[in-house]
Chain A
Amino acid sequence: MSELTELLRDPLYTYPQRLIALAKYAENSESGIELSEEAQAFADRDIIFDMNEGASPYRPRYVVVNFDKFMKQGSKFLMLDPPNDIWEAVSNLMAIYHHIPSVVGVPVYIGHLDRLLEPYITDENEARKAIHMLLIHVDRTISDSFCHSDIGPHDTRAGRIILELSAEMQRPVPNMSLIYNKNTPDDFARLAISTGMITSKPSFVNDDMYAKDWDEYAIVSCYNALPLGGGGLTLGRLNLKNLAEASNGPQDLMDNMLPRAVAAQCEQMDKRDTYIIEDSRFFQNSFLSEEGLIEQERFVGMFGLVGLAECVNNVLALNKQNDRFGHGERANAFGEEILEAIHRMITAYKPKYGRFCLHGQVGISTDIGVTPNVRVPVGEEPPMPQHLAVTARMQKYFNGGVGELFPFDNTAKRNPQAVLDIIKGAFSQNMRYISYYSNDADVIRVTGYMVKRSDIESYDGGKRVLGNSTVLGSGATKGLRVYERKVRSTENGTKSAGM
């Protein structure tokens, strides 16, 4: 059977999923991007990777529409006036969502929802109905957990309604981040945490860190930080585990292999970014660009990486748990040295268009034995205080987004302030982004995006499911050992009979 026939028949595809697969098939039938021999060699050894974005990219990977501007001006092309009430606001958003390109075919950013909707709230019950409708629409039509919404930092009626509805609905879409800073009141943060213990969202964003990197930014897709009204052209991924295996000790890695691999990854990204702009002429053919909702100058390239833990452990030949990445100081210091070097190289690289930012890639469904971004491998997590400290230390380099997640046991549900204390502490140590969930929740975070456990069970049982990410989650929960993450229980404290 030909590949095309297989795509046409595959019983696990819904119609939109099939359409995306067919478009990818067509895109890959021709390629206009040629790498140098050196870069191609790194690609062939799976050290650098174009994330299967397609051989002839025709749109940026992530488009971060300036919805704030859209609410003010409406859209000529879509024949939408600026909204006058909550219903028109929601309706306009639902209309534009279906015209936003991305690598997954649906928007990876649907706006800073509380900021967008708060001005239109007059009656709270009516607003709740309208926002409920919007969230249902997003879940049932976008159906992709890479679709991300932001809220915060301020406590608003819209923000509270969104949190309450999220806890009630327990759906993986949209993904959600709370932009957190000193203006976020504790009781709003605690409401967010209680919501997160039920439905694994929102994650917390350390605004103090990102505000230094970007003028205006949004958190999109898993946890990518990108300029508002711009986005990410492509994402390249450096697999540090594979690089370590191809290197001959620490010196060869630092002086030879790493600089060459980074250069190869930069070349690949540069060429692909140029292709989108010059060959596919994306910005000339988009009303979003014509109407100023996105600007080419606000797009960047995302330099992603995975497998820092495996790289450090392999190159330094560390076998004893106390010496390994996340535990031993020599290992952690070497990890930091690698990140510093990469950060320096990509900051110095001048691509033809835009600039490159550093992104801690979250893993893909076929990864086995390579740990996402700079995390400590599942099964090797140190005690929580050390885990937080080492995570903060590694995360600080990632202006393009990075994330770590911590499952908690039931005691955290009764004490959301305790989780907030941990988040505040981690942010004071320069951690950028933290997700958490309760180990008994149905909606869980795979590595950056979310899935419903019950949906994965259906899919694995041979049933079609609505969420595109469920398909990825099915592979990733196994390959990345998601269910085996160390659950943070705080030991019984009081001396009375067992708690």
Chain B
Amino acid sequence: MVRKAPVCRIIPFSFVDGPGNRAAIFFQGCGFRCLYCHNPETISLCNNCGACVQGCPVGALIMEAGKVQWNPGLCCGCDLCIQECPNYSSPRIKMMDAMEIWNECEAVSPYIEGITVSGGECTQHHELLAELFSLAHSAGKTAFVDTNGQTRFIDMPDLTEAMDMAMLDVKAIDDNEHKRLTGSSNETVLENMSYLAKIGKLYEIRTVVAYGLDCAHTVDEASKIIALYPRVRYKLIRFRNKGVRGAMSNDESPSDKMMNELKLLAESNGVRLVEII
């Protein structure tokens, strides 16, 4: 049987998901529940509760045989459905196989350097990713993985072998803070950081900087580790509350001063490429 995975959207051109211009594929479903997640509608799979159907202003959603059906032809893209969803999901998910996903990327293939898979958490579908990457590679395109690091790459040899590089979130170095922030331990994340760096497949790590987190500690420790691998970048992402639900939804963005201090910290620990965004 053909393997399929839930895709929430494909962006043909992205300038922020790895080197050059890339098609970015976002998969649905994530094992972490980050307090600062800015697209929380990608966290869960749809449980067909139907809460979104009533709210749709153009009738693009209907309930059919106990399942929510989405009609893309009618959809106006207002995003009301994902705001209505009590389940951190979206009714606009398409089950796609590797070839279907690749066909959409191939349509823009002259203009892109490669593809990046993201989410949600894309590694939940690592077997399909391996298939997709082999299609990308036969077209001369690179294949990058954007991951929260929830699963050990050493246990996903198909994907690890097939991908060019990974971009890994390092949300907190302190395990208690990581648990409070994401609901999970960071043990696997940190193991992945070292493993991917060692095998030369770590493109960058990223830390979201926000008040209320011990970011200095995270940046200090993480930068010491990646400094051993001169090509690994560190991206410091300024928290913004757009799209965020729950406890952090009204928090302010960190100051320029704070961002610059963390950048200096990473640089003084020997990281050559540090970027604030």
Which residues on A are within 8 Å of B, measured CB to CB? 383-385, 388, 411-412, 414-415, 417-422, 424-426, 428-429, 488, 490-499
Contact = CB atoms under 8 A, between A and B. Distances in A.
A488 B11 CA distance: 13
Most buried by A among B14, B15, B26, B243: B15
Interface string B28-46: 0010001011110010000
A155 B147 CA distance: 38
A496 B208 contact: yes
Interface in B74-92: none
B241 interface: yes
A416 B81 CA distance: 36
17 contacts: A415-B15, A415-B21, A422-B111, A429-B110, A490-B13, A491-B14, A493-B116, A494-B16, A494-B167, A495-B38, A495-B42, A495-B119, A496-B34, A497-B210, A498-B243, A499-B16, A499-B240
Nearest to A490: B15
B277 A495 contact: no
A296 B146 CA distance: 60
Contacts of B15: 411-412, 414-415, 418, 490
B191 interface: no
Contacts of B210: 497
A492 B16 contact: yes
B242 interface: yes
Given A495-B39, A498-B242, A421 B14 contact: no
B148 interface: yes
Contacts of B259: none
Given A420-B20, A422-B111, A429-B110, A498 B241 contact: yes
A132 to B, nearest CB: 31
Interface residues of B, number: 49
A421 B20 contact: yes
B19 interface: yes
Most buried by B among A385, A420, A493, A495: A495
A83 B169 CA distance: 59
B244 to A, nearest CB: 7
A426 B111 CA distance: 7
Most buried by B among A412, A426, A492, A497: A497
Contacts of B131: none
Nearest to A384: B13
Contact of A493 (B107, B121, B146, B171): B146
4 A-B pairs with least C-beta separation: A498-B240, A425-B111, A425-B110, A493-B17
Given A385-B108, A414-B275, A425-B112, A496 B16 contact: no
Contact of B21 (A421, A429, A494, A498): A421
A415 B146 CA distance: 17
Given A388-B111, A490-B15, 15 more contacts: A415-B15, A418-B13, A418-B113, A421-B20, A421-B111, A425-B110, A428-B110, A490-B21, A493-B11, A494-B17, A494-B206, A495-B148, A495-B169, A497-B208, A499-B16
Contacts of B112: 421, 425
Given A422-B21, A490-B13, A417 B107 contact: no
A499 to B, nearest CB: 5
A414 B20 CA distance: 10
B239 A494 contact: no
Contacts of A422: 13, 21, 111
A256 B111 CA distance: 40
A490 B36 contact: no
Most buried by A among B20, B37, B208, B241: B20
B208 A493 contact: no
Most buried by B among A388, A425, A498: A498
B111 A495 contact: no
Nearest to B36: A497
Contacts of A418: 13, 15, 20-22, 113
Contact of B244 (A384, A425, A494, A497): A497
